[in-house]
Structure 1
Amino acid sequence: MKTFVFFALCLIFLSCAPIKTETLNNKNDYQETASQAYSTGLGNLCSTKKECIEYCKTNRGRCESYCRDKEIELCKLIFQEKPGDLGPQDNKGCKSTGTVTFTSPPMKIDQIELIEPIGLMIGGHVTPIDHGYYYAKNWIPGSNREDPSVFVDVLSPATGVVTSVQSMPQEYASSSIGDYRIVIHHTCSFYTIYIHVNQLSEKLQAIVDRGKTTKVEAGEMIGRAPGFDFSVHNDDITLPGFIVPETYSGEPWKLHNVDMFDFFEEPIRTQLLDRNIRQKEPRGGKIDYDIDGKLVGNWFEENSNGYEGKKEYQRGQGYWKTHLSFAYDGLDPELIIVSMGDYNGEAQQFAVKGNTPDPKDVDKTTGMVKYELVSFDYFTEEDKLWGRQTFAKIKKAYGNEHIDGTVLVQMLDDRKIKFESFPGKKASEVSGFTEKAKMYTR
């Protein structure tokens, strides 16, 4: 799924048209030097309090990247909170409770090339992803987002209150044009989240990064992009397959994911499912696989602060290095996937040679388990290899023959495992754990 790696590495913020933005050519442009540490500005970004406040209104992503984890009074003044800390979804301005029926698709039906459901594992998205993906026609997923002519309208699915419009940090920006995360509360507990919207409507541009709200109607254009992340959440429901909810305090909304198709009225629901490449039930995907006392599900390196990652990662790139998941493919749940945040220095996903043993059957009585790792691909319903760029109905995921490496895992207790990866080695070449083995918990 390498085609989608960059697009899928979405977190939470950015900067966008019609606001003028600057292209960052050198990351040192916003790095602090010793002499600047005590200045009245923000490094090379701006030099005075007034200048910085104005600059950060239109370049918030760069300012957040500079301020992250720094105790600078000007940063505190500009952001009023720690940059990058979303916390629970603020529902200020919402009305009513319960769910609503969506009467508009997020993207016009005739402009949709394909939809991917929740539950994929791609690159730094080590645990199953809590959002799906919409891709427009005439755009290659994961490719350049610098040409607005390929952008299409992003639509609100129902009436609601936009409670958050945040620009992505520089390191997660998908385009120099802009990149935003939008939350729409349709009731006080039922909301949709969009990520990687590259241009905002005039209405939303007026409130971006300012903590204000605005009402939108069903079908209203809220922005433009060639593709975007989309998810639906209901705070009145908590997924049962996250056995330690506190682990996800950094991204609490994922505990409340609901099916991304089920709330659309007909015929919209059927029309959207017709563009969904996943054919296996549940069509909307699944992200919560934890079973207490079993290997299946998500694990986090011991003393690494759960999903949020170690403090030194600052919730920036690399926070996923301490993540590990034994789950099932997001398009064909019959295929076991081992997803690692740090496999030979990179976040990678593999299928399992022989597709056994099933992690839901592995417990502390099983002893050491060796999984030989293989790459994987997909067959379409026409029994053709899927190219991963255009729509197809996925029939089956399968593991390839070449062994890329082996992992060794053992459940020590119901919520503790010992794990080690051996890149480039077959199972027959691995006799046991070494001093490099790590403990993971949940």
Structure 2
Amino acid sequence: MRKLSALIVIILSTSVLTSAEAAAPKPGTTCKTLKQKVTSGGLVYTCVKSGSKKVWSKGVKVAVKPTPSATPSATPTPSPTNSATPTPSPTPSPTNSATPTPSPTNSATPSPSPTTSVTPTPSPTTSPTSGSGSGSGGGSGNGGNSNSGNSKVVEGYLCDANGPASAKDSKGVLLYCTKGGDGKSSWRAEQQNSGGSGNGSGSSGNSSQQTSYVLGKLGTSCTKNGEIGWNGNVVAACKGGIVKYAMQADVPATPAGGYSSRPAWYPTLTQVMMPPMTAEPTCSPSTIKFTKPVIPLDKLAPTIPYGMMVGDHVTPIDHAYLGVKTLAIPMASRTADDYVPVTAPADGVITEFGNLGSPTSYRVVINHGCNVFTVYMVLNKGTGLLADAYSKLAPNGYAYVNIPIKAGEEFGRQRDNMLDFNVFDGTKFLSGFSNVYSYLTGDTSKPYTVDYLPFFTDDIRSAMESALQRTSSPRVGKIDQDVVGAAAGNWFLAGTNGYGGNPNSLYENATSQVMGGGMTSTKNFYAWSHLAIAHHEVDIDKWILSTGWYKDSNGDSTQFMLVVGSGQPTPDKLTSSSGSVTYDLAQVTYINPPGTPDRVEGSSEPRPVGYTITAGTLLAKVTLQVNSDNSLSLEFGSTFTDAKRTYNR
């Protein structure tokens, strides 16, 4: 498994996800004929009603002699939201500023199951060269061969994650059934370490492998009851002599002040981002320096910092949105000459390249070695080193590749969206999440999110910092805002297993990996169960209430400004001793700094640095109460009734 975090495709001014192919339906995507059934890879998919939509259900095993299929990861596969209550649109600011167009996210972000993909470059089999020792970028195989029931032992073909761990192909080469970031498993040669990456010294990339895990596959026997650890796919626990999913009660309580480093039971960044059996890097992230800009500095426009809450991004987002000046040009007037190059900030290896459901929206992951990854989302097109892969990648295709790249080399072009960008550092761990267990079922890389500014050389850092809309420290923003014993921070509906959105019961007795993460046939998207009460990403004196469930229990993500009235506690001060408090919820109105030019009609120029927000039209009320067990009660309205909901961390 390379990535457990959700890939949430929200393109507010572009297109939505395409419908599923009938031959290989994808759970949560739209279908046409109610109750239509399609059998693929030993699974039966049914066209079901979800809210006002018709979507493909999760696959159900064929009753008689099912064809083995790859076991997807417990990672949500979001579907387009068809909310009963639309997200309030912001009131135009007095200077008619542009509403920023957030692009699809990574959050940490699992890769969508490919419908077709470029054949990944085979992992090297020769002796590794000097480098980070961080591993090659193998993945789940050639989507063109993605018949999940395929029984052939062929490198790149899918295999059954619950079947043999290794087998020989027709030429006698030993292959391993290896799980990729999309949750599917494919036959792979033993992983070797990639060549030198980054601009630092980098330790020698030796061929040592992580050859064993604390526990075996789910459903297998174990001997040490209570033992918790990574099994190559999930965090598991030994219970009654059987390996099962580790549940909340199985993991240690978070220490006061949060974790200052990764707890031993939480997967490493290498385990999250790279294939199983990849060696952990031994060199320091401090040896990696970003010597080139991602976007030419003279083309850089105002940048949205980490921490925005918008649409189905209910909790604060773990990436920034780099603005490009071409967004100021009306869409109808843009030409091919207006594209700007997107380049690697440091040496590394491109490990993932995939389409996010739109012809102008792609995701790229670069492993820079020494536990440092950069992720790019809503890239308008692949060029340069990715030109060949781009020409072969089919709509919704996702490829796991191994393409070395040098600092300053182009891999894409941008014109019509802000570019999502973030950095993960596997040696860091955010302390502001009061319960990191909740991120095991989605966005598992989130605690490894770090400020990207210190990685850049001083001249580039200065330019990128000055472009950030937020003027308070930290300029890059903050995503971990939990306040223990108070209402501020991230919450998940009681009875659900954290970020993934599925009920606890689905995991408690599972003997194989849960399919589809938080995407169920009865919910519109995985974040239906999420709630965040956090500072606005730019104007940090203001509070945003962001919910995945406003009026529609299937999910209708909505964001409000939470208005703190006279004498009322701010959310970070609302504790159990405060009792229940009712707040007004308002539409957000944006105010640009004095002297800001009016936005050109038809453009999508980002809001300027230093803008502020204020309460617009009052839309609703919400009653909140922090309980003695540190759970949170919520109801939209002026009092609690039987409709009151309870959320946990």
> CA distance change for structure 1 residues 413 and 142 in 2, over 3 Å: closer, same or farther?
farther
Q: 1:313 to 1:206 in 2, by over 3 A?
A: closer
Q: 1:365 to 1:147 in 2, by over 3 A?
A: farther
Q: Is the alpha carbon distance of 1:384 and 1:326 closer, same or farther for their aligned partners in structure 2, counting shifts above 3 Å?
A: same
In the TM superposition, what is the alpha-carbon distance from 1:95 to its structure 2 partner?
Answer: 7.6
In structure 2, relative to structure 1, the CA distance for the partners of 1:363 and 1:223 (3 Å cut) is: same
Q: Counterpart of 1:328 in structure 2: which amino acid?
A: H
Aligned residue for 1:115, secondary structure, equals strand
Q: Deviation of residue 390 (structure 1)?
A: 3.6
Moved more, 78-87 or 228-237: 78-87
**Structure 1 stretches of 5 or more lacking a match?**
15-25, 44-53, 423-429
Q: In proportion to residue count, which structure has more helix?
A: 1
Residue 419 of structure 1 is matched in structure 2 by 634
Specify whether residues 210 and 348 from structure 1 end up closer, same or farther in structure 2 by C-alpha distance, changes over 3 A only.
closer
SS at structure 2 position matched to 1:185: strand
When Rg is computed on C-alpha atoms for both structures, the one with the higher figure is 2
Distance 1:6 1:210, change over 3 A: closer
Tell me: CA distance 1:41–1:376, structure 2 relative to 1, closer, same or farther (3 Å): closer
Q: In 2, distance between residues paired with 1:247 and 1:141?
A: 42
Aligned to 2:117, which of 44, 57, 62? Answer: 57
What's 2:306 paired with?
Answer: 118
Contact 1:379 1:396 in 2 (8 A): yes
- For residues 30 and 162 of structure 1, the distance between their equivalents in structure 2, rounded to whole angstroms, comes to 40
Code of the residue aligned with 2:273 in structure 1: it is Q
RCO comparison, higher one (Cα < 8 Å, 6+): 2
1:286 aligns with 2:478: yes
**1:197 alignment counterpart:** 379
The superposition leaves residues 233-271 of structure 1 with CA deviations (integer Å, 9 ceiling, x where unpaired) of 111111111111121122122101111323211211111
**More moved, 275-284 vs 323-332:** 275-284
**Match in the other structure for 2:444:** 252
**Corresponding residue number in structure 2 for 1:358:** 570
How far the C-alpha of 1:132 sits from its partner, in A, is 0.4
CA distance in 2, matches of 1:280, 1:213: 39
Aligned 1:201-220 pairs, distance under 5 A: 201=383, 203-204=385-386, 205-206=388-389, 209-220=398-409
The residue that corresponds to 1:339 in the other structure is: 546
1:436 to 1:282, Cα distance in 2 relative to 1, 3 A: same
Letter in 2 for 1:363: T
Aligned to 1:152: 340
**TM, length-normalised to structure 2:** 0.53
In structure 1, the residue matched to 2:354 is 166
Q: Name structure 2 gaps, 5 residues minimum.
A: 1-8, 19-28, 46-113, 120-139, 160-178, 185-270, 504-514
* Aligned counterpart, 1:185: 367
Q: 2-side partners of 1:415 and 1:141: how far apart?
A: 49
**Residue aligned with 1:394, SS:** coil
Specify which of 18, 34, 39 is matched with residue 37 of structure 1: 39
SS for the counterpart of 2:298 is: helix
Structure 1 residues 324 and 391: CA distance shift in structure 2, 3 A = closer
Of the three residues 390, 397, 402, the one matched with 2:613 is 397
Q: State the secondary structure of the residue aligned to 2:623.
A: strand
Q: 1:75 to 1:291 in 2, by over 3 A?
A: farther
**Residue 332 of structure 1: CA displacement?**
1.0
Per the alignment, do residues 291 and 353 of structure 1 end up closer, same or farther by CA in structure 2, a change over 3 Å counting? closer
AA partner of residue 561 (structure 2):
A
Q: TM-score, normalising length from structure 1? A: 0.76
Structural RMSD (CA)? 4.1
The offset of 1:33, in angstroms, is 3.6
Change (3 A) 1:396 1:261: same
Is the contact between residue 323 and residue 606 of structure 2 (CA under 8 Å) also seen in structure 1?
Answer: no
Question: What residue in structure 2 maps to residue 266 of structure 1?
Answer: 458
Whether the 8 Å CA contact 1:197–1:223 is kept in 2: the answer is yes
Tell me how many residue pairs correspond in the alignment.
392
What amino acid maps onto 1:248 in structure 2?
Y
141 and 180 in structure 1: CA distance in 2 versus 1, 3 angstrom threshold: farther
1:440 partnered with 2:624: no
Q: Does 1:327 align with 2:511?
A: no
Contact 2:41–2:148 (CA under 8 A) maintained in structure 1: no
